[in-house]
C-alpha cells in the first residue's frame, strides 16, 4: 500500500514533496516550522487533529490517522514508532496504538479518541505500565516526562485499556 491508497493523487504528491523537502533541508525543530507545515498542508482535504514539534496529524475519517513528519527528527519518530510497534512484546504491543501502514516520513495509525481520566487509580495503573515497558528494556519517553510526570495527551482508552498514541520517543535501552 502507499499514500495513494489513503489520499487523492494531489494530496499524496503534496505529502511526498513535503517529506522530500524536509529530508533535503534537514529542517531543525523551531516554532516557525509548524506554521510552514500548516501553510503547506492548508489545502489538504483532511481535518488536522494536531501539530507537534516534529509531526502533523490528520484524520483519515475512517478510524485511522495519518502522521506526517514536519521536521527531520519527525521522520525518525515515525520510523521509531513503526519499529517499536513491530518489535514490542505482545503484552506491550497491546498498549500501543496499532499501525496499519507506513512509508518514508508518514504512517497510518489507529485513531483512538477516548481520553484517560485523571484519577488516582488510573495514575497507579499508568505507573505499572511504565514499569512493564522499562522491565522489557524500553524507555517510554512519550509516556512520562524527564521529571517522571505522566504525559496525558499521549494516552487514550481503547476498550477500557490504556493505550499510547504517541510513542515516537520510546527507545530500547
15-52 pLDDT per residue, tens: 999 999 998 887 766 768 888 899 999 989 999 999 98
Give yes or no for a contact between 123 and 117, defined as CB atoms under 8 angstroms apart: no
CATH architecture of 3-110: 2-Layer Sandwich (3.30)
Residue 162 is predicted with a pLDDT of: 97
The three cell numbers of residue 84 are 517499536
Instruction: State what percent of residues in the chain have pLDDT above 70.
Output: 98
Three cell numbers at 34?
A: 509548524
pLDDT at 46: 95
Tell me the pLDDT tens digit for each residue of 74-132.
999 999 999 999 999 999 999 999 999 999 999 999 999 999 999 888 999 999 999 99
Grid cell listed for 57: 496529524
Across the chain, where does the E strand assignment appear?
47-51, 55-59, 64-69, 99-103, 106-110, 114-115, 138-140, 155-158, 161-164, 170-172
Q: How many degrees, rounded to 5, is the angle at CA 28 between CA 24 and CA 29?
A: 140
CB count, 10 Å around CB of 102? 19
Domain locations in the chain as residue ranges: 3-110, 114-172
Amino acid at each position: 500500500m502507499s499514500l495513494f491508497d489513503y489520499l487523492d493523487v494531489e494530496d499524496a504528491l503534496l505529502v511526498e514533496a513535503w517529506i522530500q523537502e524536509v529530508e533535503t533541508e534537514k529542517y531543525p525543530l523551531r516554532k516557525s516550522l509548524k506554521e510552514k507545515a500548516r501553510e503547506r498542508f492548508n489545502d489538504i482535504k483532511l481535518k488536522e487533529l494536531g501539530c507537534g514539534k516534529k509531526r502533523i496529524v490528520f484524520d483519515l475519517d475512517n478510524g485511522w490517522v495519518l502522521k506526517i513528519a514536519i521536521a527531520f527528527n519527525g521522520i525518525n519518530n515515525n520510523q521509531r514508532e513503526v519499529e517499536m510497534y513491530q518489535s514490542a512484546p505482545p503484552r506491550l504491543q497491546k498498549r500501543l496504538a496499532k499501525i496499519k501502514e507506513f512509508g518514508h516520513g508518514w504512517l497510518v495509525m489507529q485513531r483512538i479518541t477516548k481520553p484517560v481520566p485523571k484519577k488516582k487509580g488510573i495514575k497507579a495503573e499508568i505507573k505499572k505500565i511504565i514499569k512493564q515497558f522499562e522491565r522489557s528494556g524500553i524507555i517510554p519517553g512519550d509516556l512520562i516526562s524527564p521529571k517522571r510526570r505522566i504525559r496525558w495527551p499521549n494516552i487514550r482508552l481503547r476498550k477500557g485499556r490504556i493505550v499510547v498514541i504517541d510513542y515516537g520517543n520510546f527507545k530500547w535501552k
